[in-house]
Amino acid sequence: MDILHLVDRLEELFNDSRPIWLTHSVIVDEDRMLDLIDQMRVAIPEEIKKAQQIITQRDRILAQAKEEANRTVSLAREKAEKQLEDDELILSAKAKAEQIVDQAHKDAAVTQREADKYILETLTNLEMHMDRLLNQVRNGIKTLQSDTYPIAPKLDTQDEDKDMS
């Protein structure tokens, strides 16, 4: 039985009781009073048990909520750490990529200089070789002109040099 209902019945018993004249006392029905007291003795432990169950349930719910909050905080922390690691990896990768690009530009410049140097050396060697061939051709022409055609007009090799330039 509900303890509040029993308290209401006790109050009703008090209100139904007869006052003793010139005192603050009342006369109550002893049987009804003892019956209410017995019912209260039975109801109070039951109410306490219900209250304890409610407290236990509340504690369990609070523990679950705290556990869920801790798990949420832990997941958020892990996510933040992962994001930070990812950001650091991205920054590191970008820095490495910049280093690679810079090194590639330097290597390309060195390769270009070496290629230009090689081409210049090759062209210089070709020019010297061509000069030797040209001198041999001129000497051959002079030899042929002087031996074969002594009266033929001599070619001016200096004019040829001007024409070829």
Q: Where are the domains of the chain?
A: 3-164
Residue type, 62: L
Q: At what angle do helices 30-148 and 3-16 cross, to 10 degrees?
A: 150
> What does the alpha-carbon distance between residue 2 and residue 21 come to, in Å, rounded to a whole number?
34
**What confidence score (pLDDT) does residue 149 get?**
63
**What confidence score (pLDDT) does residue 120 get?**
93
pTM > 0.75: yes or no: no
pLDDT tens digit sequence for 43-54: 888 878 888 899
pLDDT tens digit sequence for 67-118: 999 999 999 999 988 888 888 889 999 999 999 999 999 999 999 999 999 9
What the block records as the tokens of 149 is: 């055609």
**What confidence score (pLDDT) does residue 160 get?**
54
Q: What stretch of H or E contains 90? A: helix 30-148
DSSP-derived 3-state class of residue 19: strand
